[in-house]
Amino acid sequence: MLSVKGVGIKFGGLRALKGVTFDVKEGEILGIIGPNGAGKTTLFNIISGLYTPDEGIVLFKGKTITGMPPHKIVRLGINRTFQTTSLYFNLPVIGNILITLTGWYRGSIFKALKEKNGEEIFEEAMKLLKFVELEELAFTPVKNIPQEAQRRLSIAVAIATKPKLLLLDEPTAGLTLEETDKILEIIKSLRNNGTTIALIEHKMRFIMGVSDRIVVLESGEVIAEGKPEEIVKNERVIKAYLGESYVA
Ligand SMILES: Nc1ncnc2c1ncn2[C@@H]1O[C@H](COP(=O)(O)OP(=O)(O)OP(=O)(O)O)[C@@H](O)[C@H]1O
Ligand SMILES: [Mg+2]
């Protein structure tokens, strides 16, 4: 579904990514792990069109998307969440979904209303909120809901554009085990509905449990790729990231 080929990017003197090559296969959950500063978020920024790489290409369903503006990439079927929640905090929960949906139905509210009536868009927003179990908070300002609920809302906003490939950047950072389980359920049901997922995570038990395959980045390079059971045994990964004391 997605091919990243020889991707590199520099920020001043820092080579944040070099020669990064891997695929995301249709229907899978691909885990992306690596130490802080390894380049994981930068990789998502390139795939989603926020950054243009200095070298290499990204192909989505066989077509180059490198250098395309982010909104076009969203239209093609890729969307993402951000490591730091990016929501309209003063708007009610449902407002965040409605903004995305009206934009999605042709870029302006007037065109959106022409194509779909207001009630249809509202219903669709409520359906998305139900999926992430936020319908009861629909009219609460985002700033007044817990961080964990904000994370679920970010996922709902991202899937409002019906992505075929969803990129999740540390969706459970700072959450408790119980809260993490809720996100896990959402990720699993998205996958069961046919969404392909690339997932950046630091929580090892979580990523090892949910991923079909894992790519490991260190200092901007892919140092390992394989099934979770192979990754936990990989000497280089243990040294660079997991630590000698990691018990699978
Ligand atoms: N826009 C930018 N300008 C300058 N440097 C950047 C920029 N974006 C990322 N970097 C640098 O690139 C490197 C990789 O950063 P990135 O955020 O991709 O790491 P990460 O793997 O996501 O780390 P973390 O696990 O902490 O989120 C870091 O050294 C970071 O400071
Ligand atoms: Mg990051």
Residues 6+ apart with CB under 8 A from 115: 105, 106
- CA-nearest residue for atom 25, ligand 1, is 36
pLDDT at 35 over 80: yes
- CA-nearest residue for atom 7, ligand 1, is 11
84 within some domain: no
pLDDT class of 104 with cuts at 50, 70, 90: confident
pLDDT class of 112 with cuts at 50, 70, 90: low
Look at 167 and 106; give whichever has higher pLDDT.
167
Residues 168 and 246 in one domain: yes
Look at 242 and 21; give whichever has higher pLDDT.
21
Going from the Cα of 9 to the center of ligand 2, the distance in angstroms, rounded, reads: 15
242 within some domain: yes
- The mean pLDDT value of the chain amounts to 92
Ligand 1 pocket, residue 42 CB under 6 Å:
yes
CATH number for 240: 3.40.50.300
Residues 170 and 124 in one domain: no
Residues 104 and 136 in one domain: yes
Which three-class secondary structure state does DSSP give residue 43? helix
Closest CA to 25 of 205, 229, 191: 191
The last residue of one of the domains, among 110, 137, 162, is 162
pLDDT class of 240 with cuts at 50, 70, 90: confident
> pLDDT, tens digit, for every residue of 67-82?
999 999 999 999 999 9
The last residue of one of the domains, among 117, 136, 162, is 162
**Residue-level pLDDT at 148:** 94
Pocket test for ligand 1, best of 11, 36, 80, 204 (most atoms within 8 A of CB): 11
Q: Provide the domain count of the chain.
A: 2
**Residue-level pLDDT at 246:** 59
Going from the Cα of 43 to the center of ligand 2, the distance in angstroms, rounded, reads: 9
Range of the domain at 35: 1-77+164-248
Ligand 1 pocket, residue 41 CB under 6 Å:
yes
pLDDT at 245 over 90: no
Ligand 1 pocket, residue 38 CB under 6 Å:
yes
In our burial notation (b when 16+ CB lie closer than 10 A, e otherwise), range 54-78 reads: eebebebeeeebbebeeeebbebbb
- CA-nearest residue for atom 2, ligand 1, is 11
Going from the Cα of 134 to the center of ligand 2, the distance in angstroms, rounded, reads: 26
Residues 139 and 187 in one domain: no
Pocket test for ligand 1, best of 15, 36, 42, 45 (most atoms within 8 A of CB): 42
Percent of the chain with pLDDT over 70: 94
User: What is the edge-to-edge ordering of all strands in the sheet holding 55-60?
Assistant: 14-24, 2-11, 55-60, 63-64
> pLDDT, tens digit, for every residue of 149-208?
999 999 999 999 999 999 999 999 989 999 999 999 999 999 999 999 999 998 888 899
Residues 237 and 175 in one domain: yes
- CA-nearest residue for atom 9, ligand 1, is 42
Closest CA to 174 of 154, 199, 147, 153: 147
87 within some domain: no
36 within some domain: yes
Checking DSSP bridges between strand 213-218 and strand 221-226, what pairing results, if any? antiparallel
| Ligand 1 atom at shortest distance from the alpha carbon of 12 | 4
The C-alpha atoms of residue 56 and residue 174 are separated, in whole angstroms, by 34
Which three-class secondary structure state does DSSP give residue 20? strand
Structure tokens at 116: 């779909």
Average pLDDT for residues 99-112, to the nearest whole number?
Answer: 71
Nearest-10 crossing angle of helices 118-131, 93-104: 120
pTM of the model: 0.93
Residues 171 and 243 in one domain: yes
**Residue-level pLDDT at 204:** 86
pLDDT at 140 over 90: yes
Which three-class secondary structure state does DSSP give residue 221? strand
The C-alpha atoms of residue 81 and residue 83 are separated, in whole angstroms, by 7
Average pLDDT for residues 211-217, to the nearest whole number?
Answer: 97
Average pLDDT for residues 19-30, to the nearest whole number?
Answer: 98
**Residue-level pLDDT at 110:** 59
Residues 107 and 133 in one domain: yes
